[in-house]
Amino acid sequence: MKKKLVLISFALLLVSGLILLGCSQRTELPTAEYTIEDVVYVGGISSATKDSIREMKAGTKVIIKDDYLSIIFPDSSTMQWTDIKFIKDKLTDEFIRSKYHEEDEQLMTFFNEYSERYRYSLFDKDENQINYYLFQMDDELFISQFAKDDSLIFSIDKIA
């Protein structure tokens, strides 16, 4: 009987430890130094063409660390945020319909090309949302600048 009680206690302790370990794991940002490779989407809010945006962003570097985002433009101007936080959302069909305009066929085509879709919402040290999203789509990564209303996207840029 005593041996059985010890085994049950050990099993409960093991299960509790696994649960706590699973809860404590934090999903990480895809950290690295990237370069904008292509502009894959230009929103209706932008007055520029895809070609002009490609030309303007050529050579732009994006540095992502666990708590840091920096965008370094070809003219050496830089935007950076430290102590960032993020929320990772799975981009289900329902989520996409609730956040983006279904009438935008080009945007819907972009989302529908991928089966594994995630969006990272980024927040600065004062908990204000940064007007950039990271999209992790299958094995590809994109950065997107948007207006205050997150459905108003300026562009989505492939980074690698």
pLDDT digits (tens, 9 = 90+) for 65-116: 999 999 999 999 999 999 999 999 999 999 999 998 888 999 999 999 999 9
Q: 23 lies in a domain?
A: no
Q: 107 lies in a domain?
A: yes
pLDDT for 4: 52
CA distance 113 to 99: 18
Note whether 124 and 83 are within 8 A (CB): yes
Q: Which domain holds residue 131?
A: 29-159
Q: What residues have CB less than 8 Å from 73, skipping those under 6 apart? A: 57, 60
Helices (H), the chain: 2-24, 50-57, 93-99, 105-112
Q: Which amino acid is at 70?
A: S
Note whether 153 and 45 are within 8 A (CB): yes
Q: Which residues are paired to 81 by β-bridges?
A: 69
Q: 13 lies in a domain?
A: no
Q: 112 lies in a domain?
A: yes
Dump pLDDT digits (tens) for 57-78.
999 999 999 999 999 999 999 9
Q: 141 lies in a domain?
A: yes
pLDDT for 155: 94
Q: 24 lies in a domain?
A: no
Note whether 72 and 61 are within 8 A (CB): yes
Q: Specify the residue for token string 């969006």.
A: 119
When pLDDT is cut at 50, 70 and 90, the band that residue 151 belongs to is low
Count of domains forming the chain? 1
